[in-house]
Amino acid sequence: MSVPVLLTPYQLGPYNIPNRVIMAPLTRRRAGKRNVPKSMMATYYTQRSSAGLIIAEASQISPQGIGYIDTPGIHSGEQIQAWKKVTDSVHEECGKIFLQLWHVGRYSHSLLQPDGQLPVAPSPVRAKGTVNTPEGYKDRETPRALKSEEIPGIVDQYRVAAINAMLAGFDAVEIHGANGYLLDQFLQDGTNHRDDAYGGPVENRARLMLEVTQAVAKVWSSDKVGIRLSPSGIMHDMYDSNPAITFGYLIEQLNALNLCYLHLIEPLEPVDHLKQYLKQVTPHFRKIYKGTLMCNAGFDFDTGNKIINDGNADLVAYGKLFISNPDLVERFRTGAPLRPWDKSTFYTGGERGYIDY
């Protein structure tokens, strides 16, 4: 009897991983004071170390990059040492773990920022809705547009965070270029209204994403750097006037960098302005991207196997299923039933709904 393709090994950059079932990065808000990972986070990730690869949750690259209460950072010595306990524990179980590097940009609030400063963004375009702060939920603020001379400092924040991730014992890193955060804000014209070298035509709007990727790849070899994109473009009030051209251009440029993988998020619901050029994100961009392609959002065992067998992806990342099924790979292997997740405990901060499944 043949082994389902999801359960077969794969050569991912320098690593031969035992299966293609990837644990997606999942914000769980379990960090402690000063955004230092708590010890239970080592338990959480180690419980899931049978994944072909764990992509640890998004971690802010600097105090400026924070957007949520109790999310971990990778910009202080204390955070590095706490993450080292996580990576050591996963490695003891022969697992592989990457860290996702994160700057939320406009999706923050002055009450979360150093010295109460406004969050930064490519342009002063306010996101809709509210944000949870130490003083409760507040309306989102109009961000401050980054000056041209400040942008090299943003690139350097990613470079230093990449060094810190190496010191913390991670096997590689993933750049978070998706879901309406800072790099995505620069890329899409709904949030980038600049008229300098980082705004206007797509070549300029993609510049920061590419500069960051190149800087991180100088810290790690390029085959230990992944990047995550969300071409559906709607999360966190995002929009681009021509996502096919915007993301197509960026992904063509990424081909030249020989990255570990490209991680694409499928839209969770129909998106009107995408219908003209795709029904699924991954099959569309598979025609453009030449390297390892990972897909994410809404897949189960059958659909995960199908998208790989159809030649449209190489790896499938699972999020919520890994929350409630730390042994997801074994359940896929044996056909055991999957436990449902408890959404009410996703961000509650304690062990319940975190390490007690």
CATH of the domain at 141: 3.20.20.70
What's the CA gap between 63 and 35, in Å, rounded? 9
Residue 196 CA neighbour count, 13 Å, CB half: 12
Q: Tell me if 30 is assigned to some domain.
A: yes
Give the per-residue pLDDT at 187.
Answer: 98
Other Cβ atoms less than 10 A from the Cβ of 241: the count is: 10
Looking at the predicted structure, is the pLDDT value of residue 272 above 60?
no
Sequence-ordered list of residues with C-beta below 8 angstroms from that of 348, at least 6 positions apart, any chain: 29
Q: Tell me if 164 is assigned to some domain.
A: yes
- Residue 181 is among the residues annotated as catalytic for this protein: yes
Q: Tell me if 357 is assigned to some domain.
A: no
pLDDT, tens digit, 9 for 90 and up, residues 43-83? 999 999 999 999 999 999 999 999 999 999 999 999 999 99
Average pLDDT of the chain is: 95
Runs of H (alpha helix) within the chain: 39-47, 77-92, 151-167, 182-187, 202-205, 207-219, 243-255, 281-286, 301-309, 320-324, 328-334
Range with the poorest average pLDDT among 8-12, 82-86, 163-167, 230-234: 230-234
What's the CA gap between 154 and 104, in Å, rounded? 12
Looking at the predicted structure, is the pLDDT value of residue 120 above 90?
yes
Give the per-residue pLDDT at 268.
Answer: 65
Give the per-residue pLDDT at 232.
Answer: 82
Sequence-ordered list of residues with C-beta below 8 angstroms from that of 64, at least 6 positions apart, any chain: 103, 113, 114, 117, 119, 120, 157
Question: How many folded domains does the chain comprise?
Answer: 1
Alpha-carbon dihedral 63, 236, 244, 260, rounded to 10 degrees = 40
Looking at the predicted structure, is the pLDDT value of residue 275 above 80?
no
Give the per-residue pLDDT at 111.
Answer: 98
Reduced to 3 states (helix: H, G, I; strand: E, B; else coil), residue 217 is: helix
Give the per-residue pLDDT at 175.
Answer: 99
Other Cβ atoms less than 10 A from the Cβ of 335: the count is: 7
Give the per-residue pLDDT at 237.
Answer: 87
Residue range 312-326: mean pLDDT, rounded = 98
Model confidence pTM above 0.85:
yes
Looking at the predicted structure, is the pLDDT value of residue 28 above 80?
yes
Other Cβ atoms less than 10 A from the Cβ of 228: the count is: 26
Contact 318, 16 (CB under 8 A): no
Q: Tell me if 178 is assigned to some domain.
A: yes
Q: Tell me if 354 is assigned to some domain.
A: no
Q: Tell me if 350 is assigned to some domain.
A: no
Q: Tell me if 355 is assigned to some domain.
A: no
Choosing from 181, 249, 289, 318, which is the catalytic residue? Answer: 181
pLDDT, tens digit, 9 for 90 and up, residues 201-240? 999 999 999 999 999 999 999 999 999 999 986 778 899 9
Residue range 20-35: mean pLDDT, rounded = 98
Give the per-residue pLDDT at 206.
Answer: 98
Q: Tell me if 123 is assigned to some domain.
A: yes
Alpha-carbon dihedral 301, 244, 179, 56, rounded to 10 degrees = 50
Confidence band for 184, pLDDT divided at 50, 70 and 90: very high
Looking at the predicted structure, is the pLDDT value of residue 248 above 70?
yes
Percent over 70 (pLDDT), the chain = 96
Other Cβ atoms less than 10 A from the Cβ of 77: the count is: 9
Sequence-ordered list of residues with C-beta below 8 angstroms from that of 86, at least 6 positions apart, any chain: 37, 41, 42, 45, 46, 56, 97, 168
Looking at the predicted structure, is the pLDDT value of residue 295 above 80?
yes
Domain membership of residue 330 as a residue range? 5-345
